[in-house]
Amino acid sequence: MCMANFEIAQNIVKKIEGGYQNLKNDPGNWDSGKVGVGNLIGTKYGISAPTLKMYLGRSITPEDMKNLSYETALDIYKKYYWNPMGLDIMVNQSVANLIYQTAVHFGVRGAKKIISEVVNHPYSVDYLNRLNQEKLFNDIKTKLINIYSKNPTFAKGFINRLNNFVFSL
What distance in Å separates the CA atoms of residue 108 and residue 85, rounded to the nearest whole number?
Answer: 7
Residue 40 forms beta bridges with which residues?
A: 30
Q: Render pLDDT for 73-129 as a digit per residue (tens, 0 to 9).
A: 999 999 999 999 999 999 999 999 999 999 998 899 999 999 999 999 999 999 999
Quote the longest CA-to-CA distance of the chain.
48
Counting Cα atoms < 13 Å in the Cβ hemisphere of 35 gives 5
> What are the φ/ψ torsions at residue 3 (nearest 5 degrees)?
-110, 165
pTM over 0.95? The answer is no
Q: Render pLDDT for 32-77 as a digit per residue (tens, 0 to 9).
A: 999 999 999 999 998 999 999 999 999 999 999 999 999 999 999 9
